[in-house]
Amino acid sequence: MEGRVKMSHPVCLIENENTPEGYKLVINQKAAQILQDITEPVVVVAIVGKYRTGKSYLMNKLAGSDNGFALGSTIQSKTKGIWMWCFPHPVKPGHTLVLLDTEGLGDIEKGDEKNDSWIFSLAVLLSSTLVYNSVGTIDQDSMEKLHYVTELTERIKLKAKATADDDDSAEFKRTFPSFIWCVRDFTLKLEQEGKQITEDEYLQNGLKLKKGLSKAIMSYNFPRECITNFFKYHKCFVFERPASTADLQRLEELSESQLEPNFVKQTHTFCNFVFKNSQTKTLAGGHCVTGRMLGNLAVTYVESIRSGSVPCMENAVLALAQIENTVAIQDALSVYEAEMRQAESTFPTETQDEFLEKQTQFQSMALKAFMGRSFKDDKREYQGQLMRDLHHKNEDFAKRNEEASIRKCQDLLQVLSASLEKGIADGEFCKPGGHKRFVQEKQKIMETYNNSPKKGIKAAVVLQHFLEGKKHIETAVLKADESLTKRDIEAQEERIKKEAVERKLQEEKENAVQLMQTKKEQNRRLEQLAVMLKEKMEEEREKFLKENQWMIDEKMKEREKLAQEGFHNKARMLDEQMKDLQHQNEEISKDIWIKNGVGVLLDVATLVLPGVFGKVANIASNFFRRLF
């Protein structure tokens, strides 16, 4: 199926090159091209953790394979950089599962903490589910090894222009992935105060804060607060040791029957949870990320890191929007042009209305293609460009339709007038009674021509030009006809002039009618675009409101928990965050939000569309008022 990729083995997405200046991250172009070919939404699961803790084994199980991502059986880290493996999602039709296996953190041979922090940050930026893999227990030691999470605010910027007063924790939670902590070689009983607890309760206990303001307590609380505040939801899995130490060195060679049954069961539970619960990768506002968008994000983030700056999510999304909106215009124009070229085989259309209906139908298809891919076009810049480009293509195909009509009419008149032309060449009309025969021949041509079907919209114009071309010949024939009196000649000359004036008036009337039809149809198209934009903005608003309400609900749960544990100052801070989120919901719920968006479209249409279409934009303002 087009837009889907099934890889037989993983490839390196982000290479970690060891240079004399230190480790440098580089995008693998082959992997980037694989992502470019994925047009489906992606679910991205990344795994991070200390080297030699069995990360690759879990990723291979998610891939439904015993091998693929390198496991390694020595103390050396096998995975370098970030490796990628893509499949059709096993339980989400129309989605692609992207697995990202990262190199082990804290590799003593590499000895580059800064590089490790960038690997961790990229895993966070690119994934919709982040799996943290550790060994032993969730204790202070394991939290200290997860210090990378405390550096995220230094490694990732949400906004291009952030102030010191900005509280970004709410926005991090909106844009960061879900968090799964996998504890390997777990040997403790899941009990607390003599009662059995779940894995998730074990994690929540590990994330509990201590009271106090000492440096030690703040250091203790900080990673726990980061995990709680940054990630969407938190899940925990514990795994028993899979096999004996000797067998661990050849883990990829062992069948499940040779592994500890509980470990196999825990692994299946983990995989099933990830398949069913890992969400589609989205941007702020709920816009789904496709494979090609993920690839572009990866390129943007790596280039930012290589340039020495901190990756900015806002800038990355704007750069991505520019790419996607530009391609959305190309996609829309391709749809329109393909349909019109197919329709061109039926040119000329019998009427102007028939042609305009085709234009409107195919433009509707083009606009749907554009709306389906475009996002963050708040200034309607790309919609304006699309309107302008479609207008030019409309004019081009309208000209082709007219030219097809002209050619057909001229060919028809050439056949019908063959006898008349021969009579003129042979001088048959330069005899007494010749003018009457000339008029009869001309009338016969006109009647046959007018009764001939499918001449197109230029039929009257071509006939007018044909008759104008014969007017001086008819005048000469008239004056050469010796059977006519002076009065007869004068009467016939007056008739010739009158017919010419009437034809001219008829042509102007038909042009005016065509102009009115065009104006009416252009108005329909602009109204159609306005309706589509309104519907798109309503969908975006619903996604934003749903996202914000989820954020409010999550913060309410955390607030209640903090209040119960006595952290009243932190609870009050969450009150302020919830108040801000509620205010956002109130503002975006107002009709003025959509009215302004559609109003910008009207302003853009007036600027970018010339002549008649520009005037249409002013007329359409009445329609916009009726929309709300």
CATH at residue 269: 3.40.50.300
Return the DSSP state at 349: P
Domain stop point among 311, 338, 372: 311
Note whether residue 575 is domain-resident.
yes
Residue 247 CA to chain centroid, in angstroms?
Answer: 48
Backbone angles phi, psi at 83, to 5 degrees: -100, 150
Domain stop point among 253, 278, 311: 311
Report which secondary-structure segment, H or E, holds 15: strand 11-19
Q: How much is the pLDDT for 256?
A: 79
- Which residue range is the domain that position 265 belongs to? 11-157+171-311
Is the CB of residue 22 less than 8 Å from the CB of residue 115? Answer: yes
Note whether residue 603 is domain-resident.
yes
* 339 SS3 class: helix
Note whether residue 19 is domain-resident.
yes
Is the CB of residue 176 less than 8 Å from the CB of residue 282? Answer: no
Domain stop point among 296, 311, 326: 311
Note whether residue 137 is domain-resident.
yes
Residue 130 CA to chain centroid, in angstroms?
Answer: 24
Q: How much is the pLDDT for 77?
A: 47
Q: How much is the pLDDT for 313?
A: 92
Note whether residue 323 is domain-resident.
no
* 460 SS3 class: helix
Query: Which of the residues in the chain have pLDDT under 50?
Result: 72-78, 612
Q: Give the total number of structural domains in the chain.
A: 2
Collect all residues with Cβ–Cβ distance below 8 Å to 110 and sequence separation of at least 6.
18, 23, 77, 116
Q: Which two tokens stand for residue 309?
A: 């700056």
Alpha helices in 207-260 (DSSP H): 215-230, 245-248
Residue 123 CA to chain centroid, in angstroms?
Answer: 22
Q: How much is the pLDDT for 297?
A: 96
Is the CB of residue 87 less than 8 Å from the CB of residue 7? Answer: yes
Q: How much is the pLDDT for 73?
A: 39
Residue 160 CA to chain centroid, in angstroms?
Answer: 22
- pLDDT tens string 352-369: 889 999 999 999 999 999
Note whether residue 421 is domain-resident.
no
Beta bridge partners of 184: 135
Is the CB of residue 131 less than 8 Å from the CB of residue 58? Answer: yes
- Determine the Cα–Cα distance for residues 407 and 447; give it in Å rounded to an integer: 19
Note whether residue 426 is domain-resident.
no
- pLDDT tens string 472-530: 898 888 888 888 778 887 888 888 888 888 888 888 888 888 888 887 887 787 888 88
- Determine the Cα–Cα distance for residues 363 and 358; give it in Å rounded to an integer: 8
Is the CB of residue 610 less than 8 Å from the CB of residue 519? Answer: no
Give me the DSSP letters along 159-213.
-SS--TT---HHHHHHHS-EEEEEEES--S-SEETTEE--HHHHHHHHTPPPP--
Note whether residue 29 is domain-resident.
yes
Beta bridge partners of 105: 50
Q: How much is the pLDDT for 319?
A: 93
